[in-house]
Structure 1
Amino acid sequence: MKDQATPGTLTLDLLYATPSIIGTTPEACFWSADGARLGFLWNDRGESFRDVWTYDVARAVKRRVTRLGDDKRGEAGPGITEAVWLGDGRIVLVLAGRLYIVGADGTPGEIEPDCTDVSALAVSADGARLAFTARGSLLVKDFGTDAPACLLVPAGERIAIETFEWAKKGDLIAFVLADNSKVRQIEIAYDAQGVAHRDTFTRAFPGDEIVRLRPGVVSAARGEPIWFDRPDEQNAIWGFGLSGDGRSLFVSESDLSIKNHTIFVYDVATAAHTTYYHFHDPIQIRPDWQVAWAPGDRGLILLTNRDGYNHLYRLPAGGRAPERITEGTWEIEAFQLDRRHEQIYFTANRSHLAERQLYRVPVAGGEVEALTTEPGTHKPVYSPTFDWVADRFSDDRSPPEIYARRLGGDQTAIRLTQSPLPAFCTRNWAQVRYVDCVSRVDGAPLTARLMLPPDYEPGRRYPLVVGSVYSDALCNQWGGRDIHPSWGFDQCLVASGFLVVNPGIRGSFGRGKEWNRPMLHSYGTLDIEDIADCVRGLIEQGYADPQRIGLWGSSYGGLMTLMSLFKKPGFYAAGVAGAPATNVSHAYPEQEWIMGAPRGDDYPARYERQSALYHTAGLADPLMIIHGTRDEVVLYADTIALIEKFIAQGKRFELVTLPGSGHSWARESLAQTRFAYGKMVEFFTTHLKPR
Structure 2
Amino acid sequence: MHAEESVPPKIPLQDFFRIPKAAEYTLSANGKYLAFLAPWNDRLNVWVEDTAGGVPKRLTSVTDRDLGGVAWKGNDTVLFEKDSGGDENYHLFAIARTGGEPKELTPFPGVKVSVIDDLEDTPDQILIETNQRNKEVFDAYLLNVVTGKLELVAQNPGNISSWITDWDGRIRAATTTDGVNTSLLYRATEKDAWKTVLTTNFKESFDPECFSFDNKHLYGISNIGRDKSAAVELDPETGKEVRTIYENADVDVSHIGYSKQRKVLTLVTYTDWKPEIKFLDKKTEDAYQKLQTELPGYQVSRTGADRPEENYVVLTSSDRTLGSYYLFNVDSGALRKLDDLGPWIQESQMAEMKPVEYQARDGVTIHGYLTLPKGRAPKHLPVIVNPHGGPWARDQWGFNPEVQFLANRGYAVFQPNYRGSTGYGRKFWELSFKQWGGTMQDDVTDGTRWLIDQGIADPSRVAIYGASYGGYATLEAVVKEPNLYAAAVDYVGVSNLLTFLNTIPPYWKQGLDMMHVMIGDPQKDKSWLETHSPALNADKIRTPLFVAQGANDPRVNVNESNQIVSALRKRGVSVEYMVKQNEGHGFSNQENQFDFYSAMEKFLDQHMNGQTRTTAER
User: Shorter-chain TM-score category?
Assistant: 0.7 to 0.9
1:101 aligned partner: 96
Q: Does 1:510 align with 2:430?
A: no
Which letter does structure 2 place at the counterpart of 1:614?
L
Alignment of 1:288-437 (within 5 A): 289-306=207-224, 307-322=226-241, 323-329=243-249, 330-346=251-267, 348-349=269-270, 352-355=272-275, 357-361=276-280, 371=288, 376=299, 378=301, 380-405=303-328, 414-421=336-343, 423-425=344-346, 428-437=349-358
Whether the 8 Å contact between 2:73 and 2:118 is mirrored in structure 1 is no
1:178 aligned partner: 131
**Alignment partners' CA distance in 2, 1:654 and 1:601:** 32
1:551-584 deviations in Å (ceiling 9; x for gaps): 1112222111111111222222221112221123
Q: Does 1:278 align with 2:269?
A: no
1:7 aligned partner: 8
Structure 2 unpaired stretches of 5+: 83-91, 612-618
CA pair 533-252 structure 1, distance change in 2 beyond 3 A = farther
2:377 aligned partner: 457
Whether the 8 Å contact between 1:498 and 1:690 is mirrored in structure 2 is no
Pairing partner for 2:555 from 609, 612, 633: 633
How far the C-alpha of 1:318 sits from its partner, in A, is 1.4
1:144 aligned partner: none
2:161 aligned partner: 237
Whether the 8 Å contact between 1:252 and 1:291 is mirrored in structure 2 is no
Which letter does structure 2 place at the counterpart of 1:237?
S
Whether the 8 Å contact between 1:466 and 1:502 is mirrored in structure 2 is yes
**Alignment partners' CA distance in 2, 1:359 and 1:348:** 6
**Alignment partners' CA distance in 2, 1:614 and 1:377:** 47
Q: Secondary structure of 1:267's partner?
A: coil
Which letter does structure 2 place at the counterpart of 1:11?
P
**Alignment partners' CA distance in 2, 1:492 and 1:320:** 49
**Alignment partners' CA distance in 2, 1:354 and 1:473:** 12
Alignment of 1:446-595 (within 5 A): 446-458=366-378, 460-467=379-386, 469-470=388-389, 471=391, 472-479=393-400, 487=401, 489-584=402-497, 585-587=499-501, 588=504, 589=509, 590=511, 593-595=514-516
**Alignment partners' CA distance in 2, 1:368 and 1:109:** 38
Whether the 8 Å contact between 1:551 and 1:574 is mirrored in structure 2 is yes
1:440 aligned partner: 361
Whether the 8 Å contact between 2:166 and 2:215 is mirrored in structure 1 is no
Q: Secondary structure of 1:262's partner?
A: strand
- Percent identity over the alignment is 14
**Alignment partners' CA distance in 2, 1:454 and 1:94:** 39
Whether the 8 Å contact between 1:46 and 1:419 is mirrored in structure 2 is no
**Alignment partners' CA distance in 1, 2:321 and 2:534:** 37
Q: Does 1:163 align with 2:115?
A: yes
Pairing partner for 2:137 from 200, 206, 212: 212
Q: Does 1:135 align with 2:58?
A: no
CA pair 241-44 structure 1, distance change in 2 beyond 3 A = same
1:41-85 deviations in Å (ceiling 9; x for gaps): 1549996555535564xxxx444441569x99xx77647973526
Q: Does 1:684 align with 2:604?
A: yes
Q: Secondary structure of 1:253's partner?
A: strand
Pairing partner for 1:26 from 13, 16, 23: 23
**Alignment partners' CA distance in 2, 1:636 and 1:221:** 38
How far the C-alpha of 1:368 sits from its partner, in A, is 9.1
Which letter does structure 1 place at the counterpart of 2:208?
Q
Q: Secondary structure of 1:639's partner?
A: helix
1:205 aligned partner: none
CA pair 445-408 structure 1, distance change in 2 beyond 3 A = farther
Q: Secondary structure of 1:255's partner?
A: strand
CA pair 239-608 structure 1, distance change in 2 beyond 3 A = farther
How far the C-alpha of 1:655 sits from its partner, in A, is 2.8
**Alignment partners' CA distance in 1, 2:444 and 2:340:** 36
How far the C-alpha of 1:647 sits from its partner, in A, is 5.0
CA pair 652-455 structure 1, distance change in 2 beyond 3 A = same
How far the C-alpha of 1:361 sits from its partner, in A, is 2.0
Which letter does structure 1 place at the counterpart of 2:577?
V
How far the C-alpha of 1:369 sits from its partner, in A, is 8.9
How far the C-alpha of 1:397 sits from its partner, in A, is 0.7
Q: Secondary structure of 1:134's partner?
A: coil
1:272-327 deviations in Å (ceiling 9; x for gaps): 1122x32413535xx89233111111221122222222322112341242121111
Whether the 8 Å contact between 2:360 and 2:366 is mirrored in structure 1 is yes
**Alignment partners' CA distance in 2, 1:243 and 1:45:** 38
Which letter does structure 2 place at the counterpart of 1:666?
F
How far the C-alpha of 1:392 sits from its partner, in A, is 2.0
CA pair 679-161 structure 1, distance change in 2 beyond 3 A = closer
CA pair 327-526 structure 1, distance change in 2 beyond 3 A = same
**Alignment partners' CA distance in 1, 2:141 and 2:81:** 29
How far the C-alpha of 1:465 sits from its partner, in A, is 0.6
1:605 aligned partner: 527
1:436-491 deviations in Å (ceiling 9; x for gaps): 222222x3332222222221214x21010112632444222221xxxxxxx1x543
CA pair 601-361 structure 1, distance change in 2 beyond 3 A = same
1:625-665 deviations in Å (ceiling 9; x for gaps): 223444443233333333444356x4734131325243345
CA pair 468-498 structure 1, distance change in 2 beyond 3 A = same
Which letter does structure 2 place at the counterpart of 1:394?
S
Q: Secondary structure of 1:551's partner?
A: strand
Which letter does structure 1 place at the counterpart of 2:482?
P
Whether the 8 Å contact between 1:388 and 1:404 is mirrored in structure 2 is yes
1:253 aligned partner: 175
CA pair 77-224 structure 1, distance change in 2 beyond 3 A = closer
How far the C-alpha of 1:381 sits from its partner, in A, is 2.0
**Alignment partners' CA distance in 2, 1:651 and 1:180:** 47
**Alignment partners' CA distance in 1, 2:144 and 2:93:** 24
Q: Secondary structure of 1:580's partner?
A: coil
How far the C-alpha of 1:370 sits from its partner, in A, is 9.7
Q: Does 1:66 align with 2:57?
A: yes
How far the C-alpha of 1:261 sits from its partner, in A, is 3.5
Whether the 8 Å contact between 1:496 and 1:690 is mirrored in structure 2 is no
**Alignment partners' CA distance in 1, 2:488 and 2:335:** 44
Q: Secondary structure of 2:447's partner?
A: helix
How far the C-alpha of 1:343 sits from its partner, in A, is 2.0
